[in-house]
């Protein structure tokens, strides 16, 4: 007997017309419910939320999130959710269909159901880099006027560090000083994300202009140079504190405030709050850590054969600082205090050359090495666009927006995704 179940259904012409009519009638029946595609739900993580409690609140059973975590890899970041983060969830009844979670500013975890199993993909976005420019003048303070011009506190600090070898921002700043900064700003999906690097900057202090351009050397090190290729970095930074005011200047005939006797003040006293970090002004070897009579807690650094610096009245030494150790420029070596003969928290700082004390505020500082002559032509070619932007009027963006990979890859106009799929 033939297998009628396997035979094709054959309709006569009349039966076919009747069948079509019945199908059309069923489709026109308003009582039939057509399933709607589920929509995304945005869930903002609250304190105490876990993946299990979020799934429970969404009506998803525990075996859904358990199966999800079995994928491993980046999915395990869902076990470390933080308040304020966001999950995007799309479901169908009590089944998860898709989930999105931003791992960081560039990477997004995307989990979806495929053939009744979960599949996880991490998508790496590309950031749009735009050159922008900020200009301003000093009317009240570097930070206030920098913020007013559109710079973040971090960028104001970076600008101060770039020019800190030539400009003493504690003493030399004057009303009417001017600054211009060409920098990168990073965007994602057309929205401002964060500030990037300073590409070029100018600071006009008391009528004298200083310029800097960013350069990445052949060895990968980033530094700032003059347009001619001279290093802005000196062997020594001018001051060992970030936020300062001079409470007692260099004076070889000063009357001591406690002893009330004429005693040479062979350094500069910088007033600062107790606990303010003190930095090494140059690469050095630590030659002394301990107490020195009226100086209280002291660190002495030896910079090569000719130079020595002394830091006194510390409240405490930085962890790991000991005699014989090498320290790099900018390394925190201790913290402001008032140990020894001191009436208030401050740093006493001395600078010695060839065994003789000199005024650290006015002494000429030796510079670091310039651009290698072999790289100079390429340096000038690469930085010409930054200098042109610095000379622009600053009313518009200084260059067309570029779309680049955040790791610094070549410009591209179409985003790509780097996807890693876990085992299903």
Spatial strand order of the sheet with 402-404 comes to 222-225, 208-216, 191-205, 178-188, 127-137, 402-404
Q: Which residue did the predictor score with more confidence, 376 or 288?
A: 288
Residues 311 and 287 in one domain: yes
- Give the number of domains in the chain: 3
Q: Is 167 inside a domain boundary?
A: yes
Q: Is 265 inside a domain boundary?
A: yes
Q: Kindly give, in sequence order, each residue whose CB lies less than 8 Å from that of residue 270, ignoring residues fewer than 6 positions away.
A: 170, 239, 240, 241, 244, 245, 246, 247, 346, 347, 349
Of 291, 269, 408, 414, give the one whose Cα is nearest residue 346. 269
Please say whether the beta carbons of 79 and 66 come within 8 A: no
Q: Is 26 inside a domain boundary?
A: no
- Per-residue model confidence as pLDDT tens digits over 281-313: 999 999 999 999 889 999 999 998 889 999 999
d(CA 253, CA 232): 34
- Per-residue model confidence as pLDDT tens digits over 225-238: 999 999 888 788 88
Residues 261 and 172 in one domain: no
Q: Is 236 inside a domain boundary?
A: no
Residue 227, domain extent: 128-231+370-404
pLDDT, averaged across the chain: 80
Q: What percent of the chain has pLDDT over 70?
A: 78
Residues 203 and 350 in one domain: no
Q: What is the CATH number of the domain that holds 158?
A: 3.10.450.350
Check pLDDT > 90 for residue 410: no
Q: Is 415 inside a domain boundary?
A: no
Tell me, what's the pLDDT at 416? Answer: 30
Mean pLDDT across the stretch 339-364?
89
In this prediction, residue 14 has a pLDDT band, given cuts at 50, 70 and 90, of low
Q: What is the CATH number of the domain that holds 260?
A: 2.70.70.10
Q: Is 187 inside a domain boundary?
A: yes
């Amino acid at each position: 007997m033939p297998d009628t179940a396997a035979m094709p259904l054959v309709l006569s012409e009349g039966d076919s017309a009747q069948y079509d009519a019945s199908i059309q009638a069923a489709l026109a029946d308003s009582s039939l419910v057509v399933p709607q595609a589920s929509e995304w739900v945005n869930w903002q993580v609250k304190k105490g939320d876990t993946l299990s409690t979020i799934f429970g609140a969404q009506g998803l059973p525990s075996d859904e999130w358990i199966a999800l975590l079995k994928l491993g890899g980046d999915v395990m970041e869902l076990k470390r959710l933080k308040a304020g983060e966001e999950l995007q969830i799309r479901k169908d009844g009590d089944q998860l269909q898709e989930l999105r979670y931003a791992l960081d500013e560039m990477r997004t975890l995307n989990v979806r159901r495929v053939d009744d199993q979960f599949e996880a993909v991490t998508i790496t976005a590309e950031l749009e880099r735009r050159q922008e420019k900020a200009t301003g003048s000093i009317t009240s303070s570097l930070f206030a006027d920098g913020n007013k011009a559109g710079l973040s506190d971090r960028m104001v600090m970076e600008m101060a560090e770039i020019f800190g070898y030539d400009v003493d921002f504690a003493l030399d700043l004057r009303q009417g000083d001017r600054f211009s900064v060409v920098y990168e700003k990073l965007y994602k999906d057309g929205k401002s994300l964060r500030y990037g690097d300073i590409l070029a900057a100018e600071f006009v202090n008391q009528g004298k202009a200083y310029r800097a351009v960013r350069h990445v050397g052949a060895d990968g090190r980033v530094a700032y140079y003059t347009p001619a290729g001279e290093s802005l970095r000196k062997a020594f930074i001018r001051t060992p504190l970030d936020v300062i005011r001079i409470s007692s200047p260099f004076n070889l005939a000063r009357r001591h405030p406690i002893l009330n006797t004429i005693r040479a003040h062979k350094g500069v006293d910088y007033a600062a709050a107790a606990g303010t970090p003190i930095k090494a002004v140059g690469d050095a070897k630590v030659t002394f850590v301990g107490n020195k009579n009226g100086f209280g807690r002291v660190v002495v650094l030896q910079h090569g054969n000719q130079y020595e610096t002394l830091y006194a009245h510390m409240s405490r030494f930085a962890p790991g600082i000991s005699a014989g150790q090498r320290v790099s420029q900018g390394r925190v070596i201790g913290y402001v205090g008032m140990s020894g003969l001191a009436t208030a928290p401050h740093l006493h700082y001395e600078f010695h050359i060839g065994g003789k004390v000199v005024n650290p505020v006015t002494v000429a500082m030796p510079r670091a090495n310039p651009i290698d002559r072999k790289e100079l032509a390429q340096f000038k070619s690469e930085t010409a666009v930054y200098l042109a932007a610095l000379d622009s009027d600053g009313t518009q963006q200084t260059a067309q927006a570029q779309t680049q990979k955040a790791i610094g890859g070549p410009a591209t106009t179409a985003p790509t995704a780097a996807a890693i799929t876990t085992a299903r």
